[in-house]
Amino acid sequence: MWRTFSTGWLWPFMLVAPVATLAEPSRPNVVLFLVDDMGWRDCGAYGSRYYETPQIDRLAREGIKFTDAYAANPLCSPTRASILTGKYPARLGLTSAVGHLPPLPEGAPRYPENTPPGRPITTPESRRYLPPAEYTLAEALRDAGYRTGHFGKWHLGLTEPHWPERQGYDVAWHGKPDPGPPGPNGYFSPYSFKAGTITPGPEGEYIVDRLTDEAIRFIEESHEQSRPFFAAVWQYGVHGPWDHKEEYTKQFADKQDPQGRQGNPVMASMLKSVDESLGRIVAKAGRARAGGEHHRPVHVGQRRQCAQQHPGRPPARRTSSRDTRSGDRSPAIASMPDTCRRRTIIRCGRARGRSTKAASACR
């Protein structure tokens, strides 16, 4: 039986909240699995009849599914900054997807001299990195004795002073520039990053799989060291350049959506790879738990739909970069074994009758 809770309010960072409540002597392991450009309806747990995401769906059945999770911004860099700091992007001055660009010169004006014709308002220039002075989630957990690791897309600073190693991560696997894996090779090795810590793998290696391998190695090493860990697994998929495994894409070439809403085999192929990654991560964390540790995997679809791949996604409208439900509404799942009840749905928005906080789903 599904349990449904209604709340009259929305957490700005609902999925970080379980992490913030960790206390001695129990320090569960934490996995934050972020999927870029995955829309609200892009998995079975949220209603898709076309995409095949058994691992995401299983996590939803075994944990807490949020029906009304919203990002702080419809773009990459601001959302990631808000997740790490708990602040609205405007407070950070980081309001656009510019984390792959060189920092603005010191003292550069906040506002442009001219506003382009047709633009109704003048908008400030966005900061192009997460300020090092900000105290991040990774720093808080590291200070609490956690081993911290970042794997995948960063998009919060091009230059080394703004890399994840400077924001609280003991281990970081990332490349620059990084809105998506750059060309000419994109998702396939040898990778085309110009800087960072990503090294080439075997020719033709898929970066979604390699990222997963690196995260699993980190989990194994943390277990060997008997240290609790925080793993930020920030997948490049399903962001452009939409490179995919041909063998997976062929499986969806003739598939029809009975709802008539979805039907892109490339997107389906990339989601299948991301879903397999999540399954491997959860399985590895689960084996660590069987050895006496606990883990709290959190899955977040980074709220956005891509215009090039999905020009329409009912019931939402428009595309990922817009301040509409297509841009902000996200699939979000939290699984906390032995702590939160299975098959729990958290509904945020207008409370009907008695308002129950989401925390009441946890023992």
Q: Which residues belong to the active site?
A: 76, 155
Q: What is the sign of the dihedral through the CA atoms of 184, 189, 190 and 193? A: positive
Instruction: Return the axis-axis angle of helices 54-62 and 265-290, rounded to nearest 10°.
Output: 50
**Which tokens belong to 248?**
């997976």
H or E stretch including 36? strand 29-36
**Which tokens belong to 142?**
């590291």
Q: Helix (H, G, I), strand (E, B), or coil: what is residue 85?
A: helix
Cβ-based neighbours of 220, under 8 Å, separated by 6 or more? 284
**Which tokens belong to 304?**
């956005």
Q: Among the residues of the chain, which ranges form H helices?
A: 17-20, 54-62, 76-85, 89-92, 137-143, 207-224, 246-252, 265-290, 325-328
CA 195 to CA 176: how far, in whole Å? 5
DSSP string of 123-134, one letter each residue: -PPPPSS--TTS
Cβ-based neighbours of 87, under 8 Å, separated by 6 or more? 81, 134
Q: Helix (H, G, I), strand (E, B), or coil: what is residue 138?
A: helix
Cβ atoms of 50 and 42 within 8 Å: the answer is: no
